[in-house]
Amino acid sequence: MTFAPNEHISDLPQAFDAGGSSFVAALQRQAPQALPPLLGGSPMPAELRDQLIEGTTVLAVVARDGVVMAGDRRATAGHHISRGDMRKVFPADDSSAIGISGAAGPAMELARIFATELEHYEKVEGEPLSLDGRSNKLAGMVRAHLPMAMQGLVVVPLFAGVDRRTGDRRIFEYDPVGGRYRATNSAATGSGSMAARATLKRLADPEADLDVAARTAIEALFDAAEEDSATGGPDLIRRIYPIVAVIDQDGYRELTDDEVAAHVEAVVETHRS
């Protein structure tokens, strides 16, 4: 008597399974209850809406040797400031970063599942996804979130990285329905993005070095915090500074608090004089 192998071992890989290298596909089969739920139906009630924690401004700048991504630390719920130390920039893998804005809960989950997806693909296939491939995958995940966006749980990520094979530095912006747009030199998303964009347009220089790009990113966040109530400036009293990630050929690295503080100090100085 013989059995099909899957009667003994759940989820052995199948030949020609196009989703075979996808972590989300594996999760759907093995632990569907662990996937973020997608609820359709009526819009979210106002009292729930007011408790929803939202993250605000993240931005990215292209430099000569890589890209810089930065995010402020404020989270808001309605008119409250609910957190002053939120993280909105995450490593996606060792050559790219994901920044999040919008409903904080689903957005942070998106960042985590995306990072797992990239690592899973790399382990199964033995090669990391191309930068374009990664950005496309993220677009698909935002698209899959559409039913939640319709109810007001909007999640808009920002993706930036360096392609190890070609040396390309790229930034991708998204919209709530999963549209993917390649940015030229800089991009910003979230409630403070208008003000941040104005500064980025003025200062972003793709031929500048990474240090200058980090300074530009911090200056843009500073301006966003001045214009937008939901974006937090550097908190000099509690020493909470924006998170600034630098990605170059050597990989993903976050600036230390002291490094960011030095940039903040320099930016504040130019505003004083």
Partner 1 sequence: MATPFYVAPEQMMKDRAEYARKGIARGRALIALEYTAGVVFVSENPSRSLHKTSEIYDRIGFAAVGRYNEFESMRVAGIRLADVKGYQYAREDVTAKALANAYSQALGSIFMGGEAKPYEVELLIAEVDDDADGRNGHELYHILYDGSIVDEHRFVVIGGDTEPLTAALESRWEPDLDRDAAINVCVAALGEVSGRSMDPGDLEVSGLDATRARRRFFRLRDQALTDAINADG
Active site residues: 56
| One residue of 19, 50, 80, 123 binding partner 1 per CB under 8 A | 123
| 242 within 8 A of 218, measured Cβ to Cβ | yes
CB of 22 to partner 1, least distance (A): 10
Shortest distance (Å) from residue 254 CB to partner 1: 13
- Is residue 220 packed enough to be buried (19+ CB in 10 Å), middle (13-18) or exposed (0-12)? buried
**Residue of 137, 158, 182, 163 whose CA lies nearest to 66:** 163
Q: Which stretch binds partner 1 (CB under 8 A): 24-32, 44-52, 54-62, 130-138?
A: 24-32
The reply to whether 90 sits near partner 1 by the rule CB under 8 A is no
CA atoms within 13 A of residue 1's CA, in its CB half-sphere:
1
Residue in 209, 228, 246, 241 with CA at minimum distance from that of residue 56: 228
Of 135, 143, 140, give the one whose Cα is nearest residue 173. Answer: 135
Of 36 and 152, the one with the shorter C-beta distance to partner 1 is 36
Residue with tokens 């990072």: 115
Is 18 among the residues that bind partner 1 (CB under 8 A)?
no
Question: Pick from 64, 65, 105, 119: which binds partner 1 (CB under 8 A)?
Answer: 119
96-115 footprint of partner 1 as x/- string (CB under 8 A): ----------------xx--
Of the candidate residues 16, 18, 34, 258, the single one contacting partner 1 (CB under 8 A): 34
Q: Closest distance between partner 1 and the C-beta of residue 100, in Å?
A: 18
Q: Which stretch binds partner 1 (CB under 8 A): 10-18, 128-136, 139-147, 153-161?
A: 10-18
Q: Between vectors from CA 96 to CA 94 and to CA 101, what angle results, nearest 5°?
A: 130
Query: Please, which residues bridge with residue 158 across strands?
Result: 99, 173
Rounded to a whole number of angstroms, the minimum distance from the CB of residue 210 to partner 1 is 21
Contact between 47 and partner 1 by CB under 8 A: the answer reads: no
Helix 131-144 vs helix 104-125: crossing angle, to nearest 10: 140
Point out which residues bind partner 1 (CB under 8 A).
1-3, 5, 7-9, 11-13, 20, 23, 26-27, 30-31, 34, 112-113, 116, 119-120, 123-124, 126
